[in-house]
Structure 1
Amino acid sequence: MNRITLTKPDDWHLHLRDGEAMKSVVGMSAKQMGRAIIMPNLSPPITSAAQAKDYHDRIIESLPKETIFKPLMVLYLTDETSKNEMLEASKTPEVYAAKLYPAGATTNSSNGVTNIRKIYSVLEIMQKEKIPLLIHGEVTDPSVDIFDREAVFIDKVLSKVVRDFPELKIVLEHITTKDAVDYVKGSDKNIAATITPHHLLANRNHMLSGGIRPHFYCLPILKREYPHQDALVAAAISGSNKFFLGTDSAPHYKNEKESACGCAGIFSANAAIELYAEVFDKHKQMQMLEGFSSFFGADFYGLPRNTEKITLEKLSWTVPKSYDFSGAKVVPFFAGSELSWKLLD
């Protein structure tokens, strides 16, 4: 197979930043994706329906001309999120979900939820109004090893939320472990997961072997190849509608990544669908790529599938070493490396 035409994909987990930084990268996602779930962890975070609508409008204003791209907005949950605010969100057409960041789990999560019980009344509203809960699934207890935080979260937090809110739609985002794969596979149809290109294509050796490589540093952190990376690949290419595309593309300034305390996040929006194609082609499952990238996420969110098409060609090209990013540089995933699939204009 040297060429494949797909229904235009959607990105069910995307960081766009704001202002000039957003303007530097939003066109890349718009070229590849029909829609994207937009993460709300700005500084300050998007905690109200009114803020979400304003952010939505800024994204629309920043898009290249003649671009068809729909940002799907998300509320950032805090200990103080009210039932009334969530009811307002349910009536705001720009808002499609709410995001749980355990406080301190990742970039700009200091305002996140300190104890899941504090938002139980909000989760009740979300379950009733059919608002999906998107979860960064890691505990932040410093006594828990960073490589174990996802598995512990599933056991100690997620399992209780699912038990107490059995009808709540939940997306366990950017899963990284076999534990998560097995949990989602064994759950009811209202539990799904997104998988990033970097967790499919890299493991912790890429980040640590031969020196610390900051552009492979993300949260949740890259895990072992076996059993975790292998389990993610198997889930993505399986054809199961419980797993779908979510890049977690998260641009940071090059100098802030290459620092004594580098930011967590991997930028992949420049070549998202090509990166996923590498995985599916390697495992001889290109026929499964369209479901994973273009169908399963839309179906889970209850949205129509896109009608526009994209075409990928088997054509070697080299990922640029950096891109302009708001007057500075951002380094993409697999910078300087060769990919074998290219999105045609």
Structure 2
Amino acid sequence: MSTSLTIARPDDWHLHLRDGAMLEAVLPETARHFARAIIMPNLVPPVVTGAEAAAYRDRIMAALPDGMQFEPLMTLYLTEDTDPEDVAAAHASGLIKAVKLYPAGATTNSASGVTNFDKVRAVLEKMAEIGLPLCVHGEVTDREIDIFDREAVFIDRILDPVRQSTPGLRVVMEHITTKNGADYVLANETDLGATITVQHLILDRNDMLVGGMRPHYYCLPILKRAEHREALLAAATSGDARFFLGTDSAPHPTHAKESECCSAGCFTAPNALPILAQTFEKASALDKLEGFTSRHGPAFYGLPVNTDTITLTKSDRVTEFPAKIDAGDHTVTVFDPGFPVYWTVAS
């Protein structure tokens, strides 16, 4: 016996595609299910200028297999030397849809990020003027701040003062991981949205640490306590349009994940939607899945909802996902949710 659910084709509002052989390997896994995605600019070197974003977009489209439809929504990496006029020109041309803020040292390839926020004030003011969203990796990087507290401290110390001093700045709090983050969004009715990942909806830090370290559950921001996961699930399944899907699917070679000092990131692109369908069904919120995956994000970014659809189907048989995919000379391990999934995306 099977159950099916047809929804507007989803978008991914936070995605890492990398470059080169890795890009060629992982792009089809997203394009198979998602119409569009906000593309992270933290390459080495980072995508800082409009010209660099255009070149990266061209490489993405060149890697897209024949017969697949996908639109990369490009972003620029905010540095203390970013030119406000270059940002405005890239936005006016339709090339970029957001600028990404990484506090320096917060996550993978973030060394070029911001340390002194006074140095980016002119860029933020220009973005507020033209309505260009700022996508925020919301963690402080001070060594004395516990890693499990860094999101909450960032909200109080950096995010709220930046928003107060830059009226009209539209902000996406990316991959929120705490009740603090969800509550901050709920307390601010305008110019603020938040993405939530698959792993932060279904896992907490016990899943990563109890019985041994599971490196494929290690991501940044790091998994938090169960009470935070429960707050994120409540937000995602509430139907509130301020919350939408950003998978933060982040491929790394398997050997880099299974190393002494493992890379941060979960590669969820191949199975994000089936896992979400099961998660929303368990929460008695299947009717809210389309909003979270397909409608709230376009509304925030001022884009149309996709006109084509996908169908998710549930059966009484466990869905088998690939354990790994090939990526050049390496493999990438596909995220394992740790429980049987019975939903698939119909081909």
TM-score category of the 2 structures, normalised to the smaller one: over 0.9
1:318–1:336: 8 Å Cα contact kept in structure 2?
A: no
Distance in 1 separating the partners of 2:119 and 2:341: 46
Structure 2 residue matching 1:223: 3-state secondary structure: coil
Counterpart residue type for residue 274 of structure 1: P
2:282 is matched with 282
Identical-residue share of aligned pairs (%): 50
Residue 172 of structure 2: aligned partner: 171
Contact kept? 1:99, 1:133, Cα under 8 Å = yes
Q: How many residues align?
A: 344
Contact 2:275–2:337 under 8 Å retained in 1? no
Deviations 1:215-234 (A, max 9, x none): 000000000111x0000000
Determine the structure 2 residue equivalent to 1:343: 345
Distance 1:180 1:166 in 2: 20
Query: What RMSD, in angstroms, separates the aligned Cα atoms of the two structures?
Result: 1.1
Which residue is equivalent to 2:258? 258
Deviation at 1:88, TM superposition (A): 2.3
- Give the distance between the partners of 2:225 and 2:321, measured in 1 at CA: 25
Task: Determine the C-alpha separation between the residues in 1 that align with 2:281 and 2:64.
Answer: 31
* Structure 2 partner of 1:116: 117
Kindly indicate whether the alpha-carbon contact (under 8 Å) linking 2:135 and 2:171 is maintained by their aligned counterparts in 1. Answer: yes
- TM-score, normalization by structure 1: 0.98
- For residues 281 and 335 of structure 1, the distance between their equivalents in structure 2, rounded to whole angstroms, comes to 15
**Aligned-pair CA distance for 1:90:** 2.1
Do 1:32 and 1:272's aligned partners in 2 also have CA atoms closer than 8 Å? Answer: no
What's the counterpart of residue 292 of structure 1?
292
Q: 1:7 maps to which residue? A: 8
For the Cα contact (< 8 Å) 2:204–2:225, is it kept in 1? yes
Q: Quick check: 311-320 or 48-57, which moved more?
A: 311-320
Residues of 1 paired with 2:240 and 2:72: CA distance? 25
Q: Deviations over 1:282-339 (max 9, x none)?
A: 1111000001100000010000110010000003212322111222111111178531
- The one-character-per-residue Cα deviations of 1:250-273 (angstroms, maximum 9, x if unpaired) are 000000011111100110001111
SS of 2:230's equivalent in the other structure is helix
Asked if 1 retains the 8 angstrom alpha-carbon contact of 2:102 and 2:113, the reply is yes
Distance 1:92 1:78 in 2: 21
Unpaired runs of 5+ in structure 2?
none
Task: Quote the Cα distance in structure 1 between the aligned partners of 2:85 and 2:300.
Answer: 25
Deviates more, 1:154-163 or 1:333-342: 333-342
Return the TM-score normalized by structure 2: 0.97
Q: Displacement of 1:189 after TM fit?
A: 2.2
| Aligned counterpart, 2:63 | 62
- Give CA deviations for 1:90-117 in whole Å, capped at 9, x if unaligned: 2232211100000000000000001222
CA distance in 1, matches of 2:121, 2:190: 21
Q: Which residue of 2 aligns with 1:49?
A: 50
In 1, Cα distance between equivalents of 2:278 and 2:15 = 20
